[in-house]
Amino acid sequence: MALYQEGDLDAATTLIHFISPKLYRFFAAQAVSRLEAEDLLQETWLRIHKVRHTYRPGEPAIAWFYAIARHVRVDHYRKAMRTTIREQELEETSAAGEAPAGRRDDLAALLAPLSQAERDVVEMLKIEGLTLDEVARATSSTVGSVKQKAHRAYKKLRKAFGSSKKRTEARR
């Protein structure tokens, strides 16, 4: 692994031939299709290559490889879940006969009390299903800043909906 970090292509080839079958079995054992296991293996090697500088010589390399593989698998699962949820929402919308554009208008009206930055954060977190880290990267801010914007947005929304709920009850 230390040779691979230094750019030795023979070392990289040897690692790939030695570790790939183990990582493939790791993915195949998770009840994913053969194609998915191969895709996950490729994604793992891409990540290993990107972060090879983080490996500390003298540490067990196999544990480092499996940690990266586990993160790839978790990311794949999360992405698949977000996709499944979006597809279900689209099917429900289509089944209800509701136009997606009308749904966007309703959402815009609901989020109207928020600033643009707060609206963006809420949409990315709650509608797109992104993680705090992903939103922070997308907005070029810190995770703490994203949390703060989200908290302020939720507070404004609770206030706006709480007050409209009280007005509705007062009319009755």
Going from the C-alpha of 128 to that of each of 9, 13, 104, 141, 146, the distances in angstroms are 40, 39, 13, 18, 15
What's the pTM value of the predicted model, to 2 decimals? Answer: 0.48
- So what's the pLDDT on residue 120? 85
Domains and CATH numbers, the chain: 1-98 (1.10.1740.10), 99-172 (1.10.10.10)
pLDDT tens for each residue of 67-118: 888 889 888 888 888 888 877 877 776 665 544 555 556 777 788 888 888 9
Distance CA 35, CA 17 (A): 19
